């Protein structure tokens, strides 16, 4: 009986893979119902046992990609200690990705972007709110939801320019006098972040 | 084995992303104006006790705390 079950299993798997070899859907996009031929074959062989469930049956289905591009982008901007924006509908967000400033509009291609220290601006009509982010990630989903996470985010007027200059000079000096690779890396990070803050304050 | 992608300088120096991110956050916090700076520095405080185990028994714990002992 077990030998028959494995034969039936392999037959149904082979059939499934043969017909969908070129156009494979992602497992999270398939409906979370079991293949009916498999279930029937299972019931014939083991009528008293429940057919096994696959992991996708336990997962919540992915939010569907709307067929027309939504007019607004939903932004969730979180920090470790607070949720700055939750489900806020905006027109555009410009994030400081490591590859440069990236403008995100509704209907943006799904992307995971690593952020570098820089300014993030949230555009809602004529309203623009800017934050300086220390670093983080941005997850842009197919349904025009943007999840932006950062460790520290401060509005630009909370920054003290004299501290920034002092810090920059200090880290440049540390970079010059650094010995180990790790010290050099730390000093380099300091110089980069301070320069980014300077650029943010002046630009 | 040569690396395929260009690694960031901090990873080449042996630092992990989380250390890099925490250092960036510390730098930003230090550049704030008062009173925001005082608030931010409270977020930097850590308080933990770490003990290594040997032969199934915990060794002397190491306590790291930035909060003043009440």
Domains and CATH numbers, chain A: 69-158 (2.60.15.10), 161-202 (no CATH)
Ranges of residues in chain A whose predicted pLDDT is under 70: 1-34
Q: What is the pLDDT of residue A4?
A: 66
Under a CB-based contact definition with an 8 Å cutoff, are residues B47 and B64 in contact? yes
DSSP annotation of A179 reads: -
Express each pLDDT in B48-61 by its tens digit.
Answer: 888 889 888 888 88
Q: How confident is the model at residue A10, as a pLDDT?
A: 58
pLDDT at A20: 47
Per residue in B1-36, pLDDT (tens digit) is 555 678 888 898 899 999 999 999 999 998 888 888
Cβ <8 Å between B31 and A182: no
CB within 8 Å: A117 and B24: yes
Q: Kindly calculate the radius of gyration of chain A based on its CA atoms and give it in whole angstroms.
A: 26
Structure tokens at A186: 């730390």
ipTM over 0.90: no
Q: Compare CB distances from B23 to A158, A186, A197 and report the shortest one's residue.
A: A186
Query: What distance in Å separates the CA atoms of residue A168 and residue A117, rounded to the nearest whole number?
Result: 14
User: What pLDDT score does B4 carry?
Assistant: 66
Contact B21 A167 (CB under 8 A): no
Q: Which of B9, B14, B30 sits opposite A167 (nearest CB)?
A: B30
Is any Cβ of chain A less than 8 angstroms from the Cβ of B7? no
- Kindly report the nearest CA distance between residue B53 and chain A, in angstroms: 28
The answer to whether A181 faces chain B, any CB pair under 8 Å, is: yes
What integer pLDDT is reported at residue B56 of this predicted model? 87
pTM (two decimals) = 0.71
Note whether B20 contacts A167, CB cutoff 8 Å.
no
Angle ∠(A190,A194,A195) on CA atoms, nearest 5: 115
User: A161: nearest CA in chain B?
Assistant: B31
Q: Please check whether residue A79 is in contact with residue A152, taking contact to mean a CB–CB distance below 8 angstroms.
A: yes
Nearest CA in chain B to A197: B28
CB-nearest to A189 from B10, B14, B43 is B10
A136 touches chain B (CB under 8 A): yes
User: Under a CB-based contact definition with an 8 Å cutoff, are residues A146 and A140 in contact?
Assistant: yes
B41 and chain A: CB distance < 8 Å anywhere?
no
Write the residue in A81, A134, A184 that is nearest to B28 by C-beta.
A134
Distance, CA of A139 to CA of A113 (rounded, Å): 6
Task: Write the residue in A132, A184, A189 that is nearest to B23 by C-beta.
Answer: A189
Q: Do B27 and A167 touch (CB under 8 A)?
A: yes
């Amino acid at each position: 009986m077990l030998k028959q079950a494995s034969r039936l299993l392999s037959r149904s798997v082979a059939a499934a893979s043969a017909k969908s070899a070129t156009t494979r859907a992602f497992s999270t996009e398939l409906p979370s119902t079991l293949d009916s031929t498999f279930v029937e074959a299972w019931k014939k062989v083991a009528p008293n046992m429940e057919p096994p469930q696959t992991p996708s049956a336990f997962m919540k289905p992915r939010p569907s990609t709307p067929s027309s591009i939504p007019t607004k982008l939903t932004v969730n901007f979180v920090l470790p200690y607070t949720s700055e924006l939750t489900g806020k509908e905006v027109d555009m967000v410009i994030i400081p990705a490591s590859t440069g400033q990236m403008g995100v509009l509704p209907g943006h291609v799904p992307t995971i972007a690593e952020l570098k220290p820089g300014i993030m601006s949230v555009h809602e009509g004529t309203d623009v709110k800017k934050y300086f982010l220390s670093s983080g990630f941005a997850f842009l989903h197919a349904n025009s939801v943007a999840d932006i996470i950062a460790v520290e985010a401060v509005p630009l007027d909370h920054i003290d320019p004299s501290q920034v200059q002092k810090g920059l000079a200090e880290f440049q000096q540390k970079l010059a006098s650094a010995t180990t690779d790790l010290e050099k890396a730390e000093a380099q990070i300091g110089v980069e972040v301070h320069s980014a803050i300077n650029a943010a304050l002046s630009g | 084995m040569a690396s395929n992608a260009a690694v960031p300088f901090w990873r080449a120096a042996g630092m992990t992303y989380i250390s890099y991110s925490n250092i960036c956050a510390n730098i930003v916090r230090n550049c704030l104006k008062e009173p925001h700076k005082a608030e931010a520095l409270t977020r930097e405080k850590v308080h933990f006790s770490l003990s290594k185990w040997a032969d199934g028994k915990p060794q002397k714990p190491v306590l790291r705390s930035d909060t003043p002992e009440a």
